[in-house]
Structure 1
């Protein structure tokens, strides 16, 4: 029995936020999700707002789950990894469905990790798990605390292992988190879900 087995069946959605160093971290995590997973995974990675994203092209061949760029009003399907498109905030709405917004930047970012995490906390409450990975600003710290307040689980990449440790350290400093783990243990946790 692995140490995360007690989480099996508890989580419906995983929300992940990353910035600098995030592609490398996601490359270690997302391919570990089994094809049989019924999780919904929503990802905000800070990307340039003025260029098309290549994230679906990068991750589709590596992942066993379906990988898609989020489209406004699309129903959220289990067993799918959704990436935020450039220059839009990604949120989840009643349905559940995708909601995209061109509202103001949050933490100098659009998409913003906090915006995704806060909407996921509102909709999924205790059935959401938030993960903050490598990055160079404070985006994700407030959103992760919204997940904690809603009864969800909060996971942060070990700062000493992150390519850029500012985002993980800010998430830890903001309040309580359930796990601070290296990437291989985050992958193990995700596989157990």
Structure 2
């Protein structure tokens, strides 16, 4: 895994996904080290009228409990956050979340571009951005923002995706650092973890 130029400067991981990403998310979360030191901020497209069950399903598989943040909730190390159904979730200076019900972007609320873009603004070169399988172009612009601000960008290998529109949109928008299969993304996060405990 020496192709990863890692260090301990990173302060957060942000993950976007849509159609076909659930199994990948489950595999990532179920293989995290139990004391993974960074907050993981997830924005996944989901049915807006189904508010129960999704978080619980992820928490059952995840090493760390998955929670939906409240508006103005502070972002803490070692926590996993999921954008609530039918709310845009932004990361704000001061390291807290803000939720809004503004109009959809890319026919989506939550919009991955908003979460990734605002996280890039706050964390700059200390952010890891990961974009998984999905059926629209949401997240492509957000990954460009992460790259432009010095963060590291990863997309799921399109050939592994159930629907590859989303990672390909990111690859068209910017020069992605790593194109990886889910197992490799898991290994990347484990390697990143080693830099914090070594």
Task: Tell me whether 1:177 sits opposite 2:192 in the alignment.
Answer: no
TM-score of the pair, normalised by structure 2: 0.93
Relative distance call for 1:124 and 1:58 in structure 2 (3 A) is same
Relative distance call for 1:39 and 1:4 in structure 2 (3 A) is farther
**Alignment map for 1:111-190 (pairs within 5 Å):** 111-190=110-189
Inter-partner Cα distance in structure 1 for 2:151 and 2:134: 22
Quote the residue 2:79 is aligned against.
80
- CA shift at 1:169, angstroms? 1.1
Quote the residue 2:26 is aligned against.
27
Task: Name the count of aligned residue pairs.
Answer: 192
Please, what is the CA RMSD of the aligned residues?
A: 1.3
Unaligned runs of 5+ in 2: 193-198
Task: Tell me whether 1:109 sits opposite 2:123 in the alignment.
Answer: no
- CA shift at 1:175, angstroms? 1.6
- Which contiguous aligned blocks of 4+ residues in structure 1 show a shift greater than 4 angstroms? none
8 Å CA contact retained: 1:8, 1:192: no
Greater shift, 137-146 or 10-19, is seen at: 10-19
Quote the residue 1:96 is aligned against.
95
Relative distance call for 1:56 and 1:4 in structure 2 (3 A) is farther
8 Å CA contact retained: 2:26, 2:62: no
Quote the residue 1:36 is aligned against.
35
Inter-partner Cα distance in structure 2 for 1:140 and 1:98: 18
